[in-house]
């Protein structure tokens, strides 16, 4: 789960990481005056609250010197469609705006904590080159990046903090403050079950170190014990994706026109890939789950058909725990319920496959069956092409 | 002698009496009976000690189960919030192989479990974890500890290691239909932190006289496949066939599995395919061609030999 900047900074504040004076996030202009007041004396920084990066260049971050200028800029940003390399060409709508006091920047640094999958622990990544995309830096100047592993039971230790500080050329009189900040950021990572904490830039100012920006991703698997975070609205998923999630279905909308229903995440990806190899484009990723019942199959069908781009449906089930006859019954019920009008290709394999195929045949509903996935994909691609041309 | 599981393995099921635990334990018991092997010898559910379930004794703790039955493998079907604790309980009780099926374990829990297991291994208590978020392990004809459909497998020379459940079933089914049985099929799971990596399992297959070739199934995210390919290039004499899912997955999105995500340009499909090819792994691009590709290659191999 990705958090917005102002949500991330609330977690920072809670663990003692210094952030700029905040006026809070506002959703309408009427609240701007109060927010400016809360943020203290100007100039102020107005920041579009969206999950994508690259906001500055996209016009989502502005400096305001007077309340009047702030009003004008806030009017521009709130409601704008922000388009950055990370949003895709369609962009994202800006629904809220963070108002902060400005900071006098002496130096910009980069600091993040990520999960190192191979080392199986969090790792702090830091660089004296703040403000730059870390991926670019890692590619161009890998020697400019320092990495320090974090023990998940102990957090960052003082000496590790100093090691980072020396590598970043933190002035001696600031070292104690830097170590405290790095340790506090690791506390954020560990205490809130994060998979990413990123501060870019972390800035040196005459008044001290500040996390000027903040990006946090929380581990979805830990939301059962992060109740306050779990209660935040899900901004990352589309309406359909949220609806699917509520029914225990893993669904991700894509740009193509062949709707897929598959059991298992790996096979669902494999099915999408096979469609592409056959010359088609998948409209979605959909894993109906290992414990799918007839109801869930029907729901999955309804969800993938809500995508108006879908011109044909491909069902690919490898019955393991899930029985093919149950899937077949679910497909039949769904087709009748939604009065399916587009071509349907079904490939069943595994547990109770004969019973499943017999059920489909007896139902009399119009569908194409396939023995293997390649055949199924080719048939679905052909059907989608015909339907798209019609 | 296959890897990880054989007809001597004695399984204790953690989370034995729950609905998922009961269902899958029953399937494992039935398979072991078919194979004439002990299979599941005990179950653990705190508070249900002293009872009998599915004809097997239930214990309150893994320690008691191990002492009373000599169980050496744990099949873990405990709900995610309690799973890390249950893995550590199995490690502490001296279990040598823990197979964690559970999906949805917080990744920091797994980071802590890995450290604890390293400490256990350093102190001479040798233990291996498979999973979590995996279908388990099966040595066809001998023993099953997992949730896979046993009937699609048959004994034979091909080892399979995979991050995905149903994708493994797909591959196994194709192999079986092409007349190729499996030595052992290992699901290492779809989470960012796994107990065993592809390379760990390749190392076991390389040592295993029953395995002649290995099918390695991976997906986007992380670098387990690349690491395994390099290991195979440097240390492996047996042919390795690779399939990677996720060619069409959009970057930055988590494709069902917690670990299946392209982050900051790493863990991409193209990167993995290139690494596999560079290291001499036979890359299979079309999922439907796993069986035929391996069958053809092994036939050729046999003719040359």
Which tens digits make up the pLDDT trace of A287-326?
Answer: 998 777 888 998 999 999 999 999 999 999 998 778 889 8
Residue A52 confidence (pLDDT): 87
Q: Which of A265, A185, A187, A250 is nearest to A220 (CA)?
A: A250
Give the chain B residue whose CA is nearest to the CA of A121: B111
| Residue A215 vs residues A38, A157, B111: alpha-carbon distances, Å | 23, 23, 22
Q: A66 vs chain B: nearest CA distance in angstroms?
A: 38
Question: Is residue B305 scored above 60 in pLDDT?
Answer: no
Between A209-218, A318-327, B219-228, the lowest mean confidence (pLDDT) is in A318-327
Give the chain B residue whose CA is nearest to the CA of A134: B264
Burial (CB count within 10 angstroms: exposed 0-12, middle 13-18, buried 19+), residue A368: middle
Delimit the CATH 3.40.50.720 region(s) of chain B: 10-130
Question: Is residue B243 scored above 80 in pLDDT?
Answer: yes
Phi, psi for A9 (deg, rounded to 5): -70, -25
Q: Hey, what are B17's tokens?
A: 């009496």
Of the two residues B210 and B264, the one the predictor is more confident about is B210
Residue A389 confidence (pLDDT): 83
Delimit the CATH 3.30.1490.20 region(s) of chain A: 21-102
Delimit the CATH 3.30.470.20 region(s) of chain A: 1-19+104-236
Question: Is residue A204 scored above 70 in pLDDT?
Answer: yes
- Give the span between the Cα atoms of A262 and A252, in whole angstroms: 12
Do residues A262 and A271 touch, judged by C-beta distance below 8 A? yes
Q: Which whole number is the average pLDDT over A111-140?
A: 87
Q: How confident is the model at residue B257 (pLDDT cuts 50, 70, 90)?
A: confident
Are the Cβ atoms of B256 and A269 closer than 8 angstroms?
Answer: yes
Do residues B188 and B163 touch, judged by C-beta distance below 8 A? yes
Residue B1 confidence (pLDDT): 63
Q: What is the DSSP letter of A173?
A: G
Do residues A84 and A135 touch, judged by C-beta distance below 8 A? no
Are the Cβ atoms of B162 and A266 closer than 8 angstroms?
Answer: yes
Residues of B in contact with A272 (CB under 8 A): 247-249
Q: How confident is the model at residue B251 (pLDDT cuts 50, 70, 90)?
A: confident
B153-304 carries CATH number 3.40.50.300: no
Residue A139 confidence (pLDDT): 78
Residue A323 confidence (pLDDT): 84
The tally of CA atoms less than 13 A away on the side-chain side of residue A149 is 11
User: How many Å separate Cα B233 from the centre of its chain?
Assistant: 22
The tally of CA atoms less than 13 A away on the side-chain side of residue B280 is 10
Mean pLDDT of chain B: 94
Question: Is residue B220 scored above 60 in pLDDT?
Answer: yes
Give the chain A residue whose CA is nearest to the CA of B115: A120
Burial (CB count within 10 angstroms: exposed 0-12, middle 13-18, buried 19+), residue B115: middle
Residue B92 confidence (pLDDT): 95
Is the Cβ of B146 closer than 8 Å to some Cβ of chain A? no
Q: How confident is the model at residue B132 (pLDDT cuts 50, 70, 90)?
A: very high
Is the Cβ of A134 closer than 8 Å to some Cβ of chain B? yes
Q: Hey, what are A36's tokens?
A: 């400016």
Do residues B39 and B32 touch, judged by C-beta distance below 8 A? yes
Do residues B246 and B255 touch, judged by C-beta distance below 8 A? yes
B10-130 carries CATH number 3.40.50.720: yes
Residues of A in contact with B148 (CB under 8 A): 320
Is the Cβ of A135 closer than 8 Å to some Cβ of chain B? yes
How many percent of chain A have pLDDT more than 90? 79
Give the chain A residue whose CA is nearest to the CA of B259: A117
Look at the domain A239-389 and name its fold: Rossmann fold (3.40.50)
Look at the domain A1-19+104-236 and name its fold: D-amino Acid Aminotransferase; Chain A, domain 1 (3.30.470)
Delimit the CATH 3.40.50.261 region(s) of chain B: 153-304
Burial (CB count within 10 angstroms: exposed 0-12, middle 13-18, buried 19+), residue B20: middle
- Give the span between the Cα atoms of B97 and B81, in whole angstroms: 21
Residue B304 confidence (pLDDT): 64
Say which of B23, B107, B135 has its CB closest to residue A195. Answer: B107
Segment 99-118 of chain A within 8 Å of chain B by CB: 115, 117-118
Phi, psi for A129 (deg, rounded to 5): -95, 80
Q: What is the DSSP letter of B266?
A: B
Question: Is residue A57 scored above 80 in pLDDT?
Answer: yes
Q: Which whole number is the average pLDDT over A9-22?
A: 97
Q: What is the DSSP letter of A143?
A: G
Is the Cβ of B253 closer than 8 Å to some Cβ of chain A? yes
CATH number of A21-102: 3.30.1490.20
Question: Is residue A366 scored above 60 in pLDDT?
Answer: yes
Q: A251 vs chain B: nearest CA distance in angstroms?
A: 8
The active-site residue, picked from B178, B257, B269, B301, is B257
SS3 content of chain B, % helix, strand, coil (to 5): 40, 20, 40
pLDDT digits (tens, 9 = 90+) for B13-32: 999 998 889 999 999 999 99
pLDDT digits (tens, 9 = 90+) for A69-121: 999 999 999 999 999 888 878 889 999 999 999 999 999 999 999 999 989 99
Residue B97 confidence (pLDDT): 98
For the question of an ipTM over 0.90, the answer is yes
Catalytic residue list of A: 110, 198
The tally of CA atoms less than 13 A away on the side-chain side of residue A341 is 3
Q: How confident is the model at residue A352 (pLDDT cuts 50, 70, 90)?
A: confident
Are the Cβ atoms of A373 and B253 closer than 8 angstroms?
Answer: no
Are the Cβ atoms of A270 and B110 closer than 8 angstroms?
Answer: no
Indicate the SS3 state at residue A230: helix
- Give the span between the Cα atoms of B95 and B74, in whole angstroms: 7
Do residues B205 and B238 touch, judged by C-beta distance below 8 A? yes
Q: Which whole number is the average pLDDT over A357-370?
A: 93
Question: Is residue A272 scored above 80 in pLDDT?
Answer: yes
- Give the span between the Cα atoms of A129 and A137, in whole angstroms: 8
Residue B47 confidence (pLDDT): 95
Say which of B162, B169, B247 has its CB closest to residue A350. Answer: B169
């Amino acid at each position: 789960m990705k958090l917005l900047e102002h949500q991330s900074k609330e977690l920072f504040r809670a663990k003692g990481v210094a952030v700029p004076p905040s006026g809070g996030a506002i959703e309408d202009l009427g609240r701007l005056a109060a927010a400016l007041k809360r943020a203290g004396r100007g100039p102020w920084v107005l920041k579009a609250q969206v999950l994508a990066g690259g906001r500055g260049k996209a016009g989502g971050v502005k400096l305001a010197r007077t309340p009047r200028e702030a009003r004008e800029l806030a009017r521009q940003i709130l409601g704008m469609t922000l388009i950055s390399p990370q949003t895709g060409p369609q962009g994202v709508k800006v629904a809220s705006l963070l108002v902060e006091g400005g900071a006098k920047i002496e130096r910009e640094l980069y600091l993040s904590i990520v999960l190192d999958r191979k080392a199986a622990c969090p790792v702090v990544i830091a660089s004296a080159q703040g403000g730059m995309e870390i991926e670019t830096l890692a590619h161009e100047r890998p020697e400019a990046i320092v990495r320090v592993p974090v023990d998940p039971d102990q957090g960052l230790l003082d000496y590790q903090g100093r090691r980072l500080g020396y590598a970043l050329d933190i002035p001696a009189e600031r070292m104690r403050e830097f170590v405290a900040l790095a340790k506090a950021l690791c506390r954020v990572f560990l205490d809130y079950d994060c998979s990413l904490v990123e501060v870019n830039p972390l800035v040196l100012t005459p008044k001290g170190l500040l996390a000027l920006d903040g990006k946090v991703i929380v581990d979805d698997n830990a939301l059962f014990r992060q109740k306050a975070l779990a209660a935040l609205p899900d901004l990352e998923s589309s309406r359909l994706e949220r609806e699917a999630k509520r029914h225990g279905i893993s669904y991700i909308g894509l740009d193509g026109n062949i709707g897929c229903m598959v059991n298992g995440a790996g096979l669902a990806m494999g099915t999408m890939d096979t469609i592409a190899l056959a010359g088609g484009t998948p409209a979605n990723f959909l894993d109906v789950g290992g414990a799918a019942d007839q109801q869930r199959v029907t729901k999955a069908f309804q969800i993938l058909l809500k995508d108006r781009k879908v011109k044909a449906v491909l069902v690919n089930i490898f019955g393991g725990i899930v029985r093919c006859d149950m899937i077949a019954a679910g497909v039949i019920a769904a087709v009748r319920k939604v009065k399916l009008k587009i071509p349907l290709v079904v490939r069943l394999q595994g547990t109770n496959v004969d019973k499943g195929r017999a059920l489909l045949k007896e139902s009399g509903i119009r569908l194409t069956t396939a023995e293997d996935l390649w055949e199924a994909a080719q048939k679905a691609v052909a059907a989608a092409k015909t339907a798209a041309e019609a | 002698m296959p890897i990880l599981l054989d007809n001597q393995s004695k399984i204790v099921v953690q989370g034995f009496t729950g609905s998922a635990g009961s269902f899958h334990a029953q399937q494992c018991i039935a398979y072991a009976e078919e194979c004439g092997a002990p299979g599941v010898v005990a179950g653990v559910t705190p508070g249900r000690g002293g009872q009998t379930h599915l004809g097997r004794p239930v214990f309150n703790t893994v320690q008691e189960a191990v002492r009373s039955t000599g169980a050496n493998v744990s099949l873990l079907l405990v709900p995610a919030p309690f799973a890390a604790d249950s893995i550590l309980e199995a490690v502490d009780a001296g279990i040598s192989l823990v197979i964690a099926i559970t999906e949805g374990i917080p990744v920091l829990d797994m980071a802590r479990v890995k450290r604890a297991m390293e400490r256990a291994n350093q102190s001479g208590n040798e233990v291996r974890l498979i999973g979590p978020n995996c279908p388990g392990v099966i040595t066809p004809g001998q023993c099953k500890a997992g949730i896979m459909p046993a009937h699609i497998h048959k004994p034979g020379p091909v080892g399979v290691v995979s991050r995905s459940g149903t994708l493994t079933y797909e591959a196994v089914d194709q192999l079986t239909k092409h007349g190729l049985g499996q030595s052992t099929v290992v699901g290492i799971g779809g989470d960012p932190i796994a107990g065993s990596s592809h390379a760990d399992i390749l190392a076991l297959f390389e040592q295993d006289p029953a395995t002649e070739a290995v099918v390695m199934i991976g997906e986007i995210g992380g670098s387990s496949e690349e690491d395994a390919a390099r290991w195979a290039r440097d240390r492996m004499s047996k042919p390795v066939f690779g399939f990677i899912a996720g060619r069409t997955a959009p970057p930055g999105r988590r494709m069902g599995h917690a670990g299946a995500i392209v982050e900051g340009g790493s863990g991409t499909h193209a990167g993995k395919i290139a690494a596999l090819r560079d290291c001499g792994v036979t890359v299979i691009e079309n999922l439907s061609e796993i069986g035929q590709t391996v069958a053809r290659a092994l036939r050729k191999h046999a003719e040359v030999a």
